[in-house]
Each structure stands twice: as C-alpha cells, then as structure tokens.
Chain A
Amino acid sequence: MLAFVWLTVITALRVLGRNRLRAGLTMLGIIIGVGAVIAMVSIGEGAKQAVQKQIATMGTNVIMIWPSYMTIGGVRGAQGGAVTLTVADALELKKRIPILSETGWLIRSTMQIVNGNRNWNGPVHGVSPSYVTIRDWSFSSGGSFTQTDMESAARVALLGQTVVENIFEPGEEPVGAIIRIKNVPFRVIGVLSPKGQSVQGSDQDDVVFIPFTTAERKVFGTLFLGSVGGVFVSTERTEDLVDAAEQIRQVMRARHRLQGEQPDDFTIRTQVEIGKVQEGTSETLTVMLMIIASVSLLVGGIGIMNILLVSVTERTREIGIRMAVGAKRFHILIQFLIEALTLSVVGGCIGILFGVLAARLTTVIAGWPTIISSDTVAVAFVFSVVVGLFFGLYPANKAARLNPIDALRYE
C-alpha cells in the first residue's frame, strides 16, 4: 500500500511535470488565494497586537470618568466645559464602592516647560499619586511622588520621554535637575518609561506629571478648587469592571442630584469597552479576509477540478489499460486524487511562501507590524489539502467509474 501511494505520487509528479505550464496556471488560483490569506492575516494579526498593546498602556482594569457636556438652555457646551467632576466625587466613589481598588484623578493643561535655554510646550497633568499607579506607569530613572508631596503641594515633576528629549541634551541626567513650568521652578524626581501611542493616536510620552495640589494652587490658577479633568479608578478583577461602572453611575447621579430623565453629566468608559470597539473592527476585518480566502480557494479549487476533468478525458485510454491489467476503482480514484492533492498542496506551499514574503515586505517597506503565526500557516496548508480533496473527488470518481471496455475503445 505504501509502495502504491509512493509510486502514485511519483507518477502524479511526472504527469504534472510534463505539463508544467498547465500545472502552474492551475496552481495559480491556490497560490494567490493562500498567499493573500497568509499576507493579510499576518497584517491583521500585527495590527491587532499593536492595538492590544496600546490598550494595555491604559493600565489594568481601568475605568475612566470624564466630565460631560452641560446643556444650558438648549445650548450644548464643550466636553469638560463645566465643573461637574471634583476630588470630592472621587473620594466619595472610593468610600461607597468597595470593589474599587484605586482611585486617582487629574487636571490637565498645556504649558511652557523650560530647562536652561531649551523649552517645550506640552501637556502638564496635575495628578494624584494613585493615578500614576492606576495607569501602570513605570520609571526609567528616579521614582514617583508621594502622598506627602501631594499634601504639601511640593514642586516636584515626573517627565515623559518626549519631554526629556526636547528639553535635555542627550546624555544629560534629568533626575535632580530644576526645570520651570510657567515660571515656577520644579525639581525633576523621575523619568517615565515610554508607552508610545495611545489608542486615540496621541503621544502618551509627551507629558509632565506634577502633584494635583501643586497644579491647582501654584501653576494652573484653577477657578474652582477641587475640580478635576478626569477620575481614574481600577478594580482588582476584570470581571468587576461592568458592575463597578454601574455602581459609579448610581453614586455619581445621586451626588449630582440628577433626576429620572436627566442625562448624565459625566461619561464612564471602561478599558473593556474600548478593547471591544477595537476587537469589533478586527473581527470585521477577519470576516472579510475569510470571504476573500474562501472565494479565491473556491476559484483555485474549480481550476483544479477543471484541469483534472481534462486530464481524465485525455487519459481515458490509459485508465482503460490500467483497469484491464487489474486496477480496481479504488486505485484509479487514489491516482487522480493524489494528482489533485499534489496540485493543491504544491500550490498551497508556494502560496505560503509568497504570503510570508509579502508580509515581510510589508513590514520592511511600509513599516506595518506583521505576525506570521504557525497557526495561520497550518490552517492555510490544511485548507489547500481540503480543497484538493474536495475538488479532486468528482473527477477522480468519474475516472474510477469508467467502464473498462469503453475506456479502452476511447479514441
């Protein structure tokens, strides 16, 4: 049996080798199909992982609460245009909702940051120490500020990588240096590790953190003390996020005295929700890829079936001879199935090669991240085997069911 299969494979290769152009054109469908799938899935996977990395930079199990629009007399104001979120809100949340593990808040502004003769205009965030923890910021040098710094409104700053690059000479140590923010001197106590782009596409490393109290009292000149630009909370477990978000909403509505139909004057977003939006996008992409893949594999498969039907007709007499000397239906069936499989598997392998090459080129030329997983390659291979089997079965069966006398007489 093994000898039979082996010799049949050799025969199939010889037959296909005789009609190289024909075999090549037949395989083209499979090559293009499999190649396109591999390339596109690699690009899709690369994009997906990049987005997941960005989502992870938000922190772990984070819920964000932003001040919302205020509608006054039918005129809708800008987001955060009114004082609707305060430090007191944040503290109340922590007190009332036990599943929250951390609560932090921030206030944002854009300011001139000066070091010696260099300066930079960038976002300055006044934050509570817990905010740095919630967002999972780590330090490339130095460390975070403490609750004591917060209470004493200390003039200390944490610098993001982009800011460091713009106001310090290469090789200059920022920690310990004195910089000025809106002419107020600050001592740099930590440099943040880079996070890269946010999900929205902004540079997360273009930032300076100073204690919240310092910001509102000494730098920003806030109109209402205790008003914040956003509250960040986190939970211990990811499963608690939805529940926590709902509880936050209840507490906030009660605190803000919102009645029945009145809309929320705040917006709650969980990390899971943002992830889902991105997953939805990549799922649409995956479905489209599947459709493209199915269509091209279908076309490739029909090509194989077509050429095999031609081959069966051309070789009717040969089939008759084989039957006359004792080939059973099974032998003829296997012979043509193996021919179909050889076409589809060789085509599939070339397709995989092209796909991997295309993905690599995309990374090199366009700079898009691509991930070629062994799963994708395996699935592509299995698919080409299945296509060969499926579309080879009809012609092979047709050959096997020939009547030996008619086949021998065929001109």
Chain B
Amino acid sequence: MNPLIVGEDIWKVYRVGDVEVQALRGVSVTIEQGEFVAIMGSSGSGKSTLMNILGCLDQPTKGQYRLNGVEVGQLRPDQLAEIRNQQIGFVFQSFNLIPRTSALENAQLPLFYRGLSLKEQRTLASAALQRVGLKGREHHSPTQLSGGQQQRVAIARALVTSPSLLLADEPTGNLDTESSQDIMGILEGLNRDGMTVILVTHEVDIAAYASREIVVKDGQILSDRATKGRSQVVGA
C-alpha cells in the first residue's frame, strides 16, 4: 500500500514586511495509512505551518507534498478545497463551530459542500454525532453545549465524510482534564478503526496517545520515533 503522506524537502517562507520568515526549512516526512502521529513542538517551531500544509490549507513554497499520491503543491484553491472536503477532517483547538447553528447542521457542513441531498446529509451527520456520543443533542446550538461536547461536534463534522486523514490541532487545548481524556479516547477509537490521525500538540501526556512522535524545532524535524502508544498498551 502507498503511504498516505509523502513530504519531500518542504520549505515554507513568509514575508512579514521586509523580514523573511522561514517557517519550514526542508521537512521530509512519510506517514502510512492508519498511523496515529503526534507532531510536537513549542510555539513558533513551525508545527502549525506543517499542519496547514499537510491539511491542504496552505501550499509549500518549495518541495513536494503528495497526499494519497496526488501532488498538492500546484493545485488551485478550489482543487485544494475539494481535497479538504473529500479526504481531510479538521479538529481545532477553539472548536470552530458555526455559531447559532445546531450541532446537526454543523456536522452536515462538509456534506453540504459535497452536494449531497438534505436527507443524506442528515442521516450521515446523525450517525457521526451518535458515534461521538451526542445522540439527542442534534438540535443544540454550540452555546448550549459544554466545551467537551462542542469539540465532539467538531469531531463528528471531521469524520462525517469518512476522510482518509484526520488532523487535530491542539484538540484539548481549551478543555479540562476529564474532557481531554474523553476527546483523546474518541480519537484513539477512530484510529483503531483505521483512520489516520495526526495530532498537533505541545503537551506530552496528550502526545502519549499517539504511536509515533515527530518533534519539530526551528522549522526542521528534530526527532521522529515510534512510541509505545496507549492504544498498543490497551490492545496488549
């Protein structure tokens, strides 16, 4: 089986005024399907930039990035949008739900842009909400839900399209310990069912859920090693 992600010598250079910022300086990474990877690093290390590129929200200045064998670097914005819609699910630190819109409608959103019929959208979104344990809360708006529940809606939205890649950017950053464990448990379960999960975090105990740990510093990969991974521990 081909690797899901192949990044070769990825550079990302920004210009802020007259200053040139090298956010990524030659990152090469390969991630197989079904992996659970934690990308770690302090703020300013380039891990967010890397995640934006891996999530097709951004494109490398130099280097190659192939997702499922497709070279992403030269695609137009609308083609990137289509890849995000088909292949990637996002979970953000600040949940990023659409305000004053029900949990169900939030979870439907990717399907809406995929052009499915309203009935299909509802069926799939309900199933996704059920999967994250929010059955019965379909018609609650984000303000009526706790932080942990909001993040679950976000996860439901990310998995509703059955993407090949789930990207979680500090998913527990705004949550208390108990909710954090819940959320990580859900991600773990999704990975166990075969979904590739990439987790961006700076918390060691959250990264411990993953089976591989990539540390980024100053725009380069400092270390890339397999860890025991809690899932393996639990599985064993």
B-binding residues in A (CB < 8 A): 1, 3-4, 7, 14, 18, 317-318, 320-331, 404-405, 408
Alpha-carbon separation in the docked complex, A278 to B69 (Å):
77
Q: Find out whether the CB atom of A324 lies under 8 angstroms from the CB atom of B57.
A: yes
Contact B85 A404 (CB under 8 A): no
Q: A-contacting residues of B (Cβ < 8 Å)?
A: 52, 55, 57-58, 77-78, 81-82, 84-86, 90, 92, 96-100, 109-110, 112-118, 157
Cβ-closest chain A residue relative to B92: A408
Q: A320-B96, A323-B84 are in contact. List 4 more A-B contacts (CB 8 A).
A: A4-B115, A322-B109, A325-B85, A326-B82
Q: With both chains docked as a complex, state the minimum distance between the C-beta of B143 and any C-beta of chain A, in angstroms.
A: 13
A-B contact pairs, 24 of them (CB 8 A): A18-B100, A317-B96, A318-B99, A321-B96, A321-B98, A321-B109, A322-B98, A322-B113, A323-B81, A324-B96, A325-B85, A325-B90, A325-B109, A325-B110, A325-B113, A326-B82, A326-B113, A328-B81, A328-B113, A329-B77, A331-B113, A405-B57, A408-B57, A408-B96
**In the complex, are the beta carbons of B77 and A3 less than 8 A apart?**
no
CB-CB < 8 A to A328: which residues of B? 77-78, 81-82, 113
Least CB distance, B12 to chain A, in whole angstroms? 11
Whether B58 contacts A3 by the Cβ 8 Å rule is no
Q: Which residue of B lies closest to A320 (CB)?
A: B96
Q: Which residues of A contact B52 (CB under 8 A)?
A: 405
The 9 A-B pairs with the shortest beta carbon distances in the complex, nearest first, are A326-B85, A325-B110, A326-B113, A328-B78, A328-B81, A321-B96, A327-B113, A326-B84, A404-B57
A7 touches B110 (CB 8 A): no
Within the complex, the shortest CB–CB distance from A319 to chain B, in Å, comes to 10
Q: Which residues of B contact A327 (CB under 8 A)?
A: 81, 113
B58: nearest residue on chain A (CB-CB)?
Answer: A405
- In the bound complex, residues from chain B placing their C-beta under 8 Å from that of A330 are 78
Residue of A nearest to B116 (CB): A3
- B57 — which chain A residues lie within 8 A by C-beta? 324, 404-405, 408
Q: Is there an interface contact between B100 and A324, defined as CB atoms closer than 8 Å?
A: no
Determine the chain A residues whose CB is within 8 A of the CB of B99 once the complex forms. 318
